[in-house]
C-alpha cells in the first residue's frame, strides 16, 4: 500500500475516454508505480474518464472552459486547484486544451503529455491521419515534457508502431494506444523515481 505522505502526487488532466488514465491507475494498483493520483481534472463535464476516476475513489474535478474569459485566467484557477491537491506532476492524458505560460511556469519540467506520433513529426490534432496521409511506414507515440509550444517540449520516451497498408485512422490509433498505455506509466515511473535529468532539450534517463 502506498503511503500518501511519501508518494508523488499526480494530477491527470483529461477531456475524453481516459484509457491512458486507466493504464496509469492499473500500474499504480499493481504496485509497480509508486505514485498516487491526487485528482483527475476534466474540462468536459461528460468525459468518461471522470467515471473511471470515481470508480477508483479518485477525486474527479470538472474545470470548465466556459467559466473563464481567457486561457491565462483558466490556467491561473487550474494552478490553484493543483496546489490545493499538493500535485507534483501534471499528466496530460488526452486533455484537449493548450496550456498557457501560466501553467508551464507554475510547474517547470513537471508537466508531461502523450502525443500519438513520433515527434517532431505530425504535431497537433489528428496525428494518426497526418501520418497516414504522409505515407510514413512507421509512426508511434511520444511522451514529452510540456513547454509553451504545441508538442515541442523535451522528449522522454518514444515507441515505434509500423503502419500497415490497410490501416485506417481507427486501426492505427488502436495500435498506437497499446504503446501509449505502456509508455506513459513508464515515463511517470522514471519521473517519480528521480531518473529523468533534463539538459536543455535532452532528457537523460539515469539507471
Binding of ligand GRF by 16 (CB under 6 A): yes
Residues contacting residue 168 through CB under 8 Å, at least 6 positions apart: 132
Q: Closest-CB residue for ligand GRF?
A: 94
108 contact partners, CB below 8 Å, separation of at least 6:
none
Query: Interface with ligand GRF includes 43 (CB under 6 A)?
Result: no
List of residues 6+ apart from 105 with CB closer than 8 A: none
Binding of ligand GRF by 18 (CB under 6 A): yes
Report the C-alpha gap between 21 and 195 in whole angstroms.
22
> Count residues contacting ligand GRF (CB under 6 A)?
12
One residue of 2, 7, 19, 129 binding ligand GRF per CB under 6 A = 19
Annotated catalytic residue 115: yes
Give me the catalytic one of 115, 126, 144, 181: 115
Q: Which of 178, 179, 119, 121 is nearest to 144 (CA)?
A: 119
Residue 180 touching ligand GRF (CB under 6 A): yes
Catalytic residues: 115
Binding site for ligand GRF (CB under 6 A): 16-20, 93-94, 114-116, 177, 180
Amino acid at each position: 500500500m502506498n503511503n500518501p505522505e511519501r508518494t508523488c502526487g499526480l494530477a491527470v488532466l483529461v477531456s475524453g475516454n481516459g484509457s491512458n488514465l486507466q493504464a496509469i491507475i492499473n500500474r499504480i494498483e499493481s504496485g509497480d508505480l509508486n505514485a498516487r493520483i491526487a485528482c483527475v481534472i476534466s474540462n468536459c463535464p461528460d468525459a468518461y474518464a471522470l467515471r473511471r476516476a470515481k470508480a477508483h475513489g479518485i477525486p474527479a474535478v470538472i474545470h470548465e472552459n466556459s467559466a473563464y474569459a481567457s486561457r491565462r485566467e483558466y490556467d491561473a484557477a487550474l494552478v490553484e486547484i493543483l496546489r490545493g491537491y499538493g500535485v507534483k506532476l501534471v499528466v496530460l492524458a488526452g486533455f484537449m486544451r493548450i496550456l498557457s505560460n501560466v501553467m508551464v511556469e507554475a510547474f517547470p519540467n513537471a508537466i508531461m503529455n502523450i502525443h500519438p506520433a513520433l515527434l517532431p513529426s505530425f504535431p497537433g490534432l489528428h496525428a494518426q491521419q497526418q501520418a497516414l496521409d504522409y505515407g510514413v511506414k512507421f509512426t508511434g507515440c511520444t511522451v514529452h515534457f510540456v513547454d509553451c509550444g504545441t508538442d515541442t517540449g523535451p522528449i522522454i520516451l518514444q515507441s515505434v508502431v509500423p503502419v500497415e497498408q490497410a490501416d485506417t485512422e481507427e486501426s492505427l490509433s488502436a495500435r498506437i494506444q497499446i504503446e501509449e498505455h505502456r509508455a506513459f506509466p513508464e515515463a511517470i515511473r522514471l519521473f517519480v523515481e528521480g531518473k529523468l535529468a533534463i539538459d536543455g532539450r535532452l532528457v537523460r534517463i539515469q539507471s
